[in-house]
Amino acid sequence: GAVVSQHPSWVICKSGTSVKIECRSLDFQATTMFWYRQFPKQSLMLMATSNEGSKATYEQGVEKDKFLINHASLTLSTLTVTSAHPEDSSFYICSARYPGVGETQYFGPGTRLLVL
Amino acid sequence: DAKTTQPPSMDCAEGRAANLPCNHSTISGNEYVYWYRQIHSQGPQYIIHGLKNNETNEMASLIITEDRKSSTLILPHATLRDTAVYYCIVRAEKLTFGTGTRLTIIP
């Protein structure tokens, strides 16, 4: 099946610093990737849609200047949490859309961010 | 995307078939029914999807009613590793996750 990886799997950072999370589709090319956030005991919440070669589309209430998304190639999208604060601590998950009928999305294993 | 309704939790005995229902009465003609599951602290895992025909793969079967207003995911022989939150999603463009069904497999 299609494999999506994320790096790092977990990160601890100080308040005010920036953190970059990478999402890679390992065995297929993805023109569209998605970034989700999940707080404890809650469901996944879509943050933004990342399109290769163009600007990301953010969901309502998600600050685009705080969560910078770059989709520079067909296999890599990055999410940078700028000036992180403790309330940004969460589980960040990406997915990549597999080309073809139905365009199934495959998810990465997630990145746990803890901001101190 | 159409909204889905799932029971919040279900139990199933190990080795038995787990049948997870989902209602999606507002589904439109071009929307697929997708099932994912999320085991604790992991990313969601794709299980199966369908448009109007029943589907089967190595993990599960998906039964979609003729009017497409509901579906059932069937795990034929549940194991302890199938304990997870199962999400039924109807999508045209994006996946919108609801609260899902927490399935617990009982030894």
- Binned at pLDDT 50, 70 and 90, residue B34 comes out as very high
pLDDT tens-place string over residues A53-96: 889 999 999 999 999 999 989 999 999 999 999 999 999 999 99
Given a cut of 80, whether residue B36 has pLDDT beyond it is yes
Which amino acid makes up residue B70? S
| Averaged pLDDT, A9-37 | 96
- pLDDT, average across residues B71-75: 98
Residue A96: alpha-carbon gap to chain centroid: 10
Contact A51, A97 (CB under 8 A): no
Nearest by CB to residue A46, choosing from B41, B96, B100, is: B96
Range in A1-15, A54-68, B14-28, B85-99 with the lowest mean pLDDT: B85-99
Residue with more model confidence, B32 or A103? B32
pLDDT per residue as tens digits for the range A32-48: 999 999 999 899 999 99
- Nearest chain B residue to A9 by CA: give it: B42
DSSP H or E segment with residue B76: none
β-bridge partners, A94: A35
Number of inter-chain CB pairs under 8 A, A vs B: 47
Q: Which long-range contacts (CB under 8 A, 24 or more apart) does B65-72 make?
A: B68/B24, B68/B27, B68/B33, B69/B23, B69/B24, B69/B25, B69/B27, B70/B21, B70/B22, B70/B23, B70/B24, B70/B25, B71/B21, B71/B22, B71/B24, B71/B33, B72/B19, B72/B20, B72/B21, B72/B22
Q: What residues have CB less than 8 Å from A65, skipping those under 6 apart?
A: A82
- Partner A contacted by B100 (CB < 8 A): yes
Q: Which residue of A has its CA nearest to B33?
A: A102
Chain B interface, best mutation among A6, A107, A113, A114, by max B CB count within 10 A: A107
DSSP A62-101: --TTTEEEEEEETTEEEEEE-S--GGG-EEEEEEEEPSST
